[in-house]
Structure 1
Amino acid sequence: MKKISLYILLALIIWSCGSNDQGELVGVRSASKWNSEKPFGMTLIPGGSFTMGKQSEDVAGSLSTPTRTVTVRPFYMDETEITNSEYKEFVFWVRDSIVRTQLALYSELMSAGGTPVPGLEDYQFLNIDETKMTPYQKYMMNTYGSLGDLNSPTQGKMLNWDADIIWNVNEFPSEEYTEVMIDSIFMPIEDSFEGRRMINVDKLQFKYYWLDQESAARNKGERRNFIKQEVVKVYPDTTVWVRDYNYSYNDPMHQDYFYHQAYNDYPVVGVTWMQAKAFCRWRTKKKNDYLNTKRKSNQVPQFRLATEAEWEYAARGGLENATYPWGGPYATSDRGCFLANFKPTRGNYSVDGALYTVEAKSYFPNDYGLYNMAGNVSEWTNTAYSEASYYIGSTMNPNVEMSKNHRKIIRGGSWKDVAYFLEVSTRDYEYADTARSYIGFRTVQDFLGTNLSGK
C-alpha cells in the first residue's frame, strides 16, 4: 500500500513540475490556434437581426409571411449559384469512383490465384505499407478488415486514382476491362443506337450516411438507430427543358445545357432537393479528405443548404425593409437597365438581356457580394414549407423542418418568373423529389465562433 501511495505522489510531483499554471484553473488549451478559413468562392455573412417577412401591402402574401424580428448566426455563403461546371465535378467523381471500385474488385476476385488480370493491373487496390501503418490502422485492419468504414464496398482498401480511366470503347485494353465497363457503367445494348455506347446515368448513385441529430437529441436509444442511409442518383434531369413546357421547342437546352462547355458557368438546374443535399455532403467529404491527406485533425463544418431565414437575411444584403436585393422598389436602374434576369413582360423573356438563364456571376452583386439572389434560378433552401412557419418558428435561427413534409421552400425567383417572385420576402415551394429547369441552389457553411475579425 505504501508503494502505491509513493507512485501516486511521484506522479503528482512530475505532473506539477511539468505544468506552469501555478495550480490555477486555466482550462484546456489546444495545441494549435483556430482560425476560420473562408471557403473558396464563398463570402462571409456576418449574421445579426432583421425584420423578416412581407413589409408591403401584400395582404395575401403577408398571411403566411407576417413581419417579425429574427436573428441568424454568422455563416459563409456561395457568391453564386452552383454552376454546371461545379456540379459536373460531383457527377464525375461519382462516376469515376464507381468505375474504379468495380475494376479493383473484379481484379481482386479474378487474380486470387496470383495471376494478374489483363488490362486491370493499373486499377488494383493500392497495397498498404504495413511499416508505415499506425497502431490504430493495424488494429482496425487485423480486427475488422477495415479502417472504420464498414459501409464501404472497398472495406477500407484504397483505390488507385492515378491511373487514367479509358472511356473510348475502341481503346479498351482487354475483354476483362470491357466486361467491367459494360456491366458497371454503360447502357444496355438494347438502349444504344448508331453504334454509340453511352453511360447509364441511372447508375451514377451517391451513397452517404448521416446522423439524425434532432431525433437523437429528442429521443432515447442507441446511436446506431439514428444513423440514416441515403442513395441518390446524382445526374441532373436534363429532360426538364422539355417536360416543363408544352408546345415549345427547347430541345437544344435539353441536349446541351448540362453537357456542353459553353454552359459551364451557368447555374445547374434539373436537380432535386435531395440531389442538392447530396452535393453538400460530397463537398464536405472532398474538403475533409484533403485535410486527412495533410494529417490535419480539424474537420470543416458541413456544407449545407441555407435555411429560409438565412437565405432572406443574405439576400437583403444588410438593407432593412428592402424589396429587392438592390433595394428597390423597381427592377430597373435609373437608366432603365434591368437589374436581374426574370420575365419583365408577357412573352418577352429576352428584354432583360437573356432568354433562359445567364452566367452565375452576372448583374451586380448585393452589398454582401452575392450574385443573382433575385432572378436567374430559384434556389432550394433547407426549410419545409408551411403556412404556419412564421408563427411557430423560433426567432433565433428559425428553421421549420418536417421530415414528412415534402414541400421545400425555394427563394429568389427565376428567369421565367415575374418581378413579384424576385422580392426578398416572397415565399414559394416545390416538392423535394421534383426537378425544374428554373430551380438551382447554392450552399452555406457555418462560421464557428462569433469573432468575425478572422474573415
Structure 2
Amino acid sequence: MLNPSDMQKLLKQNAVLLLSVSLLVVSCAPKKDKSSVTGWTYNDPQGNGFRVAKAKEQATGPGLVFVQGGTFTMGATQEDVMGEWNNVPRRVTVASFYMDETEVANVHYREYLFWISRVFQEDTAVYNHALPDTLCWRSALAYNEPYVEYYFRHPAYNFYPVVGVTWKQAHDFCLWRTDRVNEEILFEKGLTNKKAELQKQMQGGGQENFNTKAYLLGEYQATPGKNMKEFKDPITKQTPTNISFEDGLILPDYRLPTEAEWEFAAYGYVNQNPQPRKKEKGKRGEELVANKQVYPWSENVNGLRYTRHGSMQGEFLANFKRGSGDNMGVAGGLNDRAPITAPVKSFLPNGFGLYNMAGNVSEWCADVYRPLSSEDMDDFNPYRGNRWQKVDMSTGKPERDSLGRIKMVDVTDSESNNRRNYQRGNVINELDGDSSSQVFYDYGKTTLINDHSRVVKGGSWNDRAYYLSPGTRRFLDEDHSDCTIGFRCAMTRYGSQEGNGSRTGNWFDKRRQNSRKM
C-alpha cells in the first residue's frame, strides 16, 4: 500500500500525463476552414452551421475526352467551291470542355432504348418516339434494303455510328445519359441504395425514375445508401436524403456540342502546340492561330493520305467518297475499306484523341443555323439557339412531368426587358438579319432556313473531300434524319482550363511578388 507522499506524487504524474494527452489531442484535431470574409469557421458544430465541401476538380464523365480550349480562326480554310459563303473566317475563343471520344454507336443507342422499354412499359409512345428511322437507308434507285433491317440491330454493326436519329432524339439521348451517369455515381459512392432504386424504377410506371434536376431539387426521393451519413448536418446531426450540387459529385449535363466547340475540337491543335519543357521553364508554346490546316488529323494536315513510310503509306485517313461511284476503291486495293460507315474507333484519332471528326458520319451540333452566324455571334463561346427557361413554380413548388423531369417554362419578354445583357427570353433570332431583329444584310434575299434548322458539321461516308474540313457547315431541320448523320455528346468544363491539377490564372512565387511591390 502506497504511503500518502507516494500517492500524492503519483497523482501529480497522472495529472501531468493527462494534460499532455489533452494537448496532443487538441493539436492533432483537424484544423477547420475559416471564412476570410467573416472569420466564422466552416463545417463547425460550434459555428453557424455553414457546410462547405472540400475543393475538388471536375471528374471526367464516361466516354469523354478533355479538350483544352483557346483561340482559333473559325470558318473557311479553303476555296468556297460550293459558292455558299456561309463560313466567313473569324477569330473566336472557346472555353475548355469535354467531348465524346467517338460518335455514339448503335450499341449505345440500343442501351438507351432498352432502358426506356423497361421503365416506360405502360407508355409505348415514349419508346416509339426514341426509335431511329431505319428507313433512312432506302433509296428509290438503289438496293439498300438489308441496311434497313440489319444496320441498327445486328451485332456486326454494334460499334458503328448510329444514324437515322433526329436532332431532337440526339438531344433527348443527352438528357437520358446525364441522369444515368449521375445515378451510377451515387450508386458507386454508396449514397443511394442501388438494389432498392432499380427495383423502384424497373416497375414500368415511367415517371418514378431518377432525374438529376429532380433529385437536386428534392422532388425525387432516392433511397439513401450507407455512406449518406457522411453528409449529416453539423448542427442538427440529421442525415439528409439527398446530397446537393455544392458537394461537387454530380456531373454537369451531357449535351450536343456547339458548332464552335465541334470545329475547334476537330482541328486538334493541341497536338501541334508544344508545351513548355521541364528544363526550359521560360519557354512556352506559341499560339497557332495562323495554322490554316484543312483536315483534323495531325499527320499530313492538308492532305488525305498517310505520308510516313511503312505499311500504312498512302492509306486514306478518313471514311469518305473519293468521287462519283467510288465509295471504297477497287477490289484488291480498297482506299478506306468502308462502303458505308465504319466502326467508331477506326482511322487515326486527332490531336485531342477524338476519332472520326472528318468522315464516317456528319454530326449534329446544338446551334440553330444561320448563313452568317460568324458575323452575328459573340467571339467568346459563340452559339446561336438560346431560349431560356426556368423551373415552373405555378403550383408553389417544382413538379415532375410524365417522364420524371422537372417541368420548365419559358422566360418571358416582360421578365427580361429591364435587363442590360438580354431583353427577350427567346433570342434565337437575335441580330440575324430578319425583319424582327431590325438588322438587314441585303435587300430581297430569302432562305429556306427556319428556327428549327440545326447545324450539321463534318463530312460523311457519302461526302466528297470538301466537307471533311471542319470549317464547312450545313443544316437540316431538327425533326429530320439521314443515313449520313449521327452525333456525339459534349460537357462543359468547370474550373481550371488546363485540366485537373492545374490552376486558373498565372501564379507567381512570393519572392517575385514582393519584388514587384512599389
TM-score, structure 2 normalization: 0.57
Hey, what does 1:345 align to over in structure 2? 323
1:291 equivalenced with 2:180 (yes/no): no
Hey, what does 2:146 align to over in structure 1? 252
Q: Does the 8 Å contact 1:54/1:66 carry over to 2? A: yes
Q: Flag structure 1 segments of 5+ consecutive residues without an equivalent.
A: 1-17, 103-183, 186-201, 206-232
Q: Does the 8 Å contact 1:61/1:426 carry over to 2? A: no
Cα distance change, pair 448–392 in 1 and its aligned pair in 2 (3 A)? same
Cα distance change, pair 451–390 in 1 and its aligned pair in 2 (3 A)? closer
Rounded Cα–Cα distance in structure 1 between residues aligned with 2:126 and 2:372 = 39
Name the one with the larger helix percent: 1
Alignment of 1:216-295 (within 5 A): 233-242=129-138, 245-293=139-187, 294-295=190-191
Query: Could you say what secondary structure the match of 1:204 adopts?
Result: helix
Q: Does the 8 Å contact 2:75/2:90 carry over to 1? A: yes
Alignment counterpart, residue 400 of structure 1, candidates 375, 384, 396 = 384
Q: Flag structure 2 segments of 5+ consecutive residues without an equivalent.
A: 1-30, 43-50, 192-242, 273-290, 308-312, 330-335, 386-427, 430-449, 502-518
Query: 1:291 Cα shift?
Result: 3.5
Hey, what does 2:253 align to over in structure 1? 302
Q: Does the 8 Å contact 1:342/1:349 carry over to 2? A: yes
Cα deviation digits, residues 345-404 of structure 1 (max 9, x gap): 210212221111000000000010000000000000001111120111100000011386
Query: 1:20 Cα shift?
Result: 7.0
Q: Does the 8 Å contact 2:98/2:493 carry over to 1? A: yes
Cα distance change, pair 20–305 in 1 and its aligned pair in 2 (3 A)? closer
Hey, what does 1:317 align to over in structure 2? 268
Query: 1:424 Cα shift?
Result: 1.2
Hey, what does 1:448 align to over in structure 2? 494
Cα deviation digits, residues 399-438 of structure 1 (max 9, x gap): 0113861111111110000000111111111111111111
Q: Does the 8 Å contact 1:53/1:62 carry over to 2? A: no
Cα distance change, pair 32–419 in 1 and its aligned pair in 2 (3 A)? same
Q: Does the 8 Å contact 2:95/2:497 carry over to 1? A: no
Query: Could you say what secondary structure the match of 1:77 adopts?
Result: strand
Rounded Cα–Cα distance in structure 1 between residues aligned with 2:475 and 2:37 = 56
Query: 1:31 Cα shift?
Result: 2.6
Q: Does the 8 Å contact 1:53/1:425 carry over to 2? A: yes
Query: Could you say what secondary structure the match of 1:410 adopts?
Result: strand
1:358 equivalenced with 2:342 (yes/no): yes
Q: Does the 8 Å contact 1:407/1:429 carry over to 2? A: yes
User: How many correspondences in the alignment?
Assistant: 310
Q: For residue 294 of structure 2, what is the amino acid of its counterpart?
A: T
Query: 1:21 Cα shift?
Result: 4.0
Alignment counterpart, residue 90 of structure 1, candidates 108, 112, 118 = 112
Cα distance change, pair 238–24 in 1 and its aligned pair in 2 (3 A)? closer
Q: For residue 323 of structure 1, what is the amino acid of its counterpart?
A: V
Query: Could you say what secondary structure the match of 1:434 adopts?
Result: coil
Rounded Cα–Cα distance in structure 2 between residues aligned with 1:267 and 1:23 = 52
Query: Could you say what secondary structure the match of 2:352 adopts?
Result: coil
Query: Could you say what secondary structure the match of 1:281 adopts?
Result: helix
Query: Could you say what secondary structure the match of 1:337 adopts?
Result: coil
When Rg is computed on C-alpha atoms for both structures, the one with the higher figure is 2
Hey, what does 2:14 align to over in structure 1? none
Query: 1:247 Cα shift?
Result: 1.1
Q: Does the 8 Å contact 1:54/1:62 carry over to 2? A: no
Cα deviation digits, residues 200-231 of structure 1 (max 9, x gap): xx5515xxxxxxxxxxxxxxxxxxxxxxxxxx
